């Protein structure tokens, strides 16, 4: 499919480079100097990984589905030539997706930081026991969760892990921050939607393994006294979109009603 896309674009004098990349084993970051558009072939997970490369550089991203799930990816091989032609004619729009920034502090020391497209998750590690996470906002204390974990999500991430944890579905261009507990026990069990200017601080109590994971990437083990500070990122992910304004809800209904198990049985 990558060669098909390259052949189509080079026929119109568009310079195209192919970057083979194993998103499950991240290594060298592709050299995107001089790139005007990044096209990723895969599912939503691949698009998220590619988004981490291009968002800080302001490079728009176009997804072409070759995986199963497609909340984020708009095109597939059935409509590829038609929409590549629209791309060449500039018949598209750029959809700006709000991102988050997550910073890990150990005491007063800054340990690590991440750009977040979907969600930051603080959750239990190997032991199947709930954890306690205190949540503070700009204004001060919000609540303490006893749960499997806490998700802090963008509107983009509201159709990801947050959806599986019974969170609300937000239109993708909303600039809000969503807090969702995972399997809460005797705790606030509703999602909280915050304005873009909010800042969230998570304080896990460490009695057994507690980790943080960003956009489904490898987890990082947390320690007692750690603080995770999350706020709106100065970067946004620019996604190339061809659909009209209501495309999200139409695609949402189609994906939510899809049953992969029945499809497999049908093909068998």
136 in active site: no
Instruction: Exactly one of 22, 31, 36, 44 is catalytic; name it.
Output: 44
Q: What is the average per-residue pLDDT within 19-43? A: 81
Q: Own/partner pairs for 109-116, CB < 8 Å, 24+ apart?
A: 111/226, 112/220, 114/214, 115/52, 115/55, 115/56, 115/233, 115/235, 116/152, 116/154, 116/157, 116/214, 116/215, 116/230, 116/233
Tell me which residue of 125, 146, 135 sits closest to 210, measured CA to CA.
125
Question: Can you give the pLDDT at residue 102?
Answer: 98
Q: At what angle are helices 80-88 and 2-10 packed, to 10 degrees?
A: 40
Alpha helices in 12-145 (DSSP H): 44-54, 80-88
Q: Span 2-92+242-267: which CATH code?
A: 3.40.50.10330
Partners of 11 in the β-ladder: none
pLDDT band at residue 267, thresholds of 50, 70 and 90? very low
The domains of the chain are located at: 2-92+242-267, 99-234
Could you please state the CATH topology (level 3) that the domain comprising 99-234 is classified under. Answer: Tumour Suppressor Smad4 (2.60.200)
Burial of 164 by CB count in 10 Å (0-12 exposed, 13-18 middle, 19+ buried)?
A: exposed
Q: What is the rounded average pLDDT for all residues in the chain?
A: 88
DSSP secondary structure, 51-90, as one string: HHHHGGGT--EEEEE-SS--SS--B-TTSHHHHHHHHHTT
Kindly report, residue by residue over 68-90, the tens digit of the pLDDT. Answer: 666 787 788 778 889 999 999 99
Of 71-80, 168-177, 240-249, 255-264, the range with the highest mean pLDDT is 168-177
Question: Can you give the pLDDT at residue 72?
Answer: 80
Partners of 45 in the β-ladder: none
pLDDT band at residue 37, thresholds of 50, 70 and 90? very high
Question: Can you give the pLDDT at residue 27?
Answer: 62
Kindly report, residue by residue over 106-162, the tens digit of the pLDDT. Answer: 998 999 999 999 999 999 998 899 999 999 999 899 999 999 999 999 999 998 999
Helix (H, G, I), strand (E, B) or coil at 267: helix
Question: Can you give the pLDDT at residue 264?
Answer: 44
């Amino acid at each position: 499919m990558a060669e098909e896309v390259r052949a189509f674009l080079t026929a119109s004098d568009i310079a195209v480079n192919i970057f083979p990349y194993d998103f499950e084993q991240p290594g060298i970051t592709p050299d995107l100097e001089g790139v005007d558009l990044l096209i990723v072939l895969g599912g939503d997970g691949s698009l998220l990984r590619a988004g981490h490369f291009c968002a800080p550089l302001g490079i728009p991203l176009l997804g072409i589905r070759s995986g199963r799930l497609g909340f984020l990816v708009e095109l597939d091989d059935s409509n590829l030539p038609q929409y590549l032609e629209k791309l060449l004619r500039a018949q598209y729009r750029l959809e700006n997706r709000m991102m988050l920034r997550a910073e890990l502090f150990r005491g007063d020391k800054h340990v690590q930081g991440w750009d977040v497209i979907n969600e930051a998750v603080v959750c239990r590690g190997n032991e199947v026991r709930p954890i306690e996470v205190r949540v503070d906002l700009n204004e001060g204390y919000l609540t303490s969760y006893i749960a499997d974990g806490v998700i802090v999500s963008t509107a983009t991430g509201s159709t990801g892990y947050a959806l599986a944890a019974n969170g609300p579905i937000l239109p993708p261009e909303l600039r809000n921050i969503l807090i969702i507990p995972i399997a809460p026990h005797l705790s606030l069990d509703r999602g909280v939607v915050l304005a873009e200017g909010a800042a969230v601080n998570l304080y896990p109590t460490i009695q057994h393994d507690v980790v943080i994971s960003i956009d489904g990437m490898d987890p990082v083990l947390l320690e007692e006294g750690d603080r995770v500070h999350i706020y709106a990122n100065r970067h946004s992910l620019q996604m190339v979109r061809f659909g009209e304004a209501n495309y999200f809800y139409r695609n949402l209904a189609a994906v939510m009603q899809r049953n992969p198990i029945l499809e497999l049985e049908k093909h068998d």
